[in-house]
């Protein structure tokens, strides 16, 4: 069973609809019993880093997420769901994230571009990602849909799977063992987004 974590941070139903469109059973839940038996976990989200972490803890999901990820369950983080994998964020200085990916989430500081970064932008898989499983069958520099004011800055450069340019070059996808995460919204990115979700399902 594929579980989409419900922690009150928006956009859950769009992801659910996309997975169902691909013909797969999926459950949107914050019930720890279902999360514990999930075969794959998706953590989407649009919202505030600090509120997201506090909600995960309030619903007793935070520690279970750490446990399941450490057990090797395939995990996909989307947008805010990518950011909470990191140690901390400039959006909430006193609240720590899951800390699975070393690094920080930083705010765009751009003079000539609008923040938030919203709309379609290119995603380039980096050269050292020789087997980009998540992007299988997707042309490099394909356009995906973004909506964010903060971007992830990993300390470990070998986790960076893809990059995007918006005033600066930033990490738009990561992979570390069973962990996959993207800053963009595949559920809003039409055919290429559906292909990416199908690739995750096929893992």
* Structural contact between residues 121 and 143, judged by C-beta atoms closer than 8 angstroms: yes
Residue with the two structure tokens 């996309």: 18
Rounded to whole angstroms, what are the CA distances from 8 to 108, 115, 129, 182, 202? 25, 24, 33, 19, 27
Other Cβ atoms within 10 Å of 51 Cβ, number: 18
**Selected catalytic residue, list 16, 148, 152, 185:** 185
**Selected catalytic residue, list 79, 104, 117, 148:** 79
From the list 151, 67, 57, the residue with the least C-alpha distance to 103 is: 151
* Structural contact between residues 103 and 86, judged by C-beta atoms closer than 8 angstroms: yes
Secondary structure class of 46 (helix, strand, coil): coil
* Residue 117 is among the residues annotated as catalytic for this protein: no
* Residue 153 is among the residues annotated as catalytic for this protein: no
* Residue 187 is among the residues annotated as catalytic for this protein: yes
Kindly list the catalytic residues. Answer: 79, 185, 187
């Amino acid at each position: 069973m594929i579980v989409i974590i419900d922690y009150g941070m928006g956009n859950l139903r769009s992801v659910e609809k996309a997975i169902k469109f691909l013909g797969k059973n999926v459950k949107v839940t914050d019930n720890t019993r279902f999360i514990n038996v999930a075969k794959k976990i998706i953590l989407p989200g649009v919202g505030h880093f600090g509120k997201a972490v506090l909600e995960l803890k309030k619903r007793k999901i935070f520690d279970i997420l750490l446990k399941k990820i450490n057990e090797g369950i395939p995990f996909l983080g989307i947008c805010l769901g990518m950011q909470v994998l990191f140690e901390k964020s400039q959006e909430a200085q006193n609240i720590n994230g899951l800390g699975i990916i070393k690094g920080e989430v930083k705010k765009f500081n751009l003079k000539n571009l609008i923040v938030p970064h919203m709309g379609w932008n290119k995603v380039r898989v980096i050269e050292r990602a020789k087997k980009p499983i998540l992007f299988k069958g997707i042309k490099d520099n394909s356009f995906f849909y973004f909506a964010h004011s903060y971007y992830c800055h990993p300390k470990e450069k070998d986790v960076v799977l893809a990059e995007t340019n918006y005033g600066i070059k930033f990490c738009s996808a990561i992979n570390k063992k069973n962990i996959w995460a993207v800053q963009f919204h595949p559920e809003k990115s039409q055919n290429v987004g559906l292909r990416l979700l199908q690739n995750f399902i096929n893992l």
